[in-house]
């Protein structure tokens, strides 16, 4: 008797497993549809997140470029006249025999 019940149960389990493998089991189709929908949503969200991250990286690169350009412009506006003065006029003044103690090298 127990052997017959065991075989019957094994047969039921095998039949249910075949239904699941063939995607025909009703209790399997509902959760499978929910799982596939969740996968589709996650894939879509991951794509949007990837696009936003790429846009963020591009914006950071543009910001770095703008900052570097502005830094160069400020440096050239503030320091190039001083460098030009030191390169061209200080040797001329020194060759004239005037004391070099007035040359503003300490301000650099």
* Domain spans, the chain: 2-78
Summarize the confidence of residues 43-67 as an average pLDDT: 98
Does residue 108 surpass a pLDDT of 80? no
In angstroms, the CA 9 to CA 99 distance is 112
Over range 26-50, report the average pLDDT.
93
Contact 73, 67 (CB under 8 A): no
State what percent of residues in the chain have pLDDT above 70.
84
Q: How many residues does the chain have?
A: 108
Question: Looking at residue 101, what DSSP letter applies?
Answer: G
Do residues 14 and 23 make contact, with C-beta atoms less than 8 angstroms apart?
no
Confidence at residue 18, expressed as pLDDT on a 0 to 100 scale? 87
Kind and range of the H or E run holding 100: none
């Amino acid at each position: 008797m127990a052997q017959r019940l065991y075989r019957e149960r094994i047969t039921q389990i095998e039949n249910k497993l075949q239904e699941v493998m063939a995607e025909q089991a009703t209790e399997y189709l509902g959760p499978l549809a929910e799982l596939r929908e969740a996968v589709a949503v996650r894939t879509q969200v991951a794509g949007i997140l990837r696009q936003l991250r790429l846009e963020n990286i591009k914006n950071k690169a543009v910001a770095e470029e703008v900052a570097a350009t502005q830094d160069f412009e400020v440096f050239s506006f503030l320091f190039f006249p001083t460098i030009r003065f030191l390169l061209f006029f200080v040797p001329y003044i020194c060759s004239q025999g005037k004391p070099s103690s007035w040359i503003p090298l300490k301000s650099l």
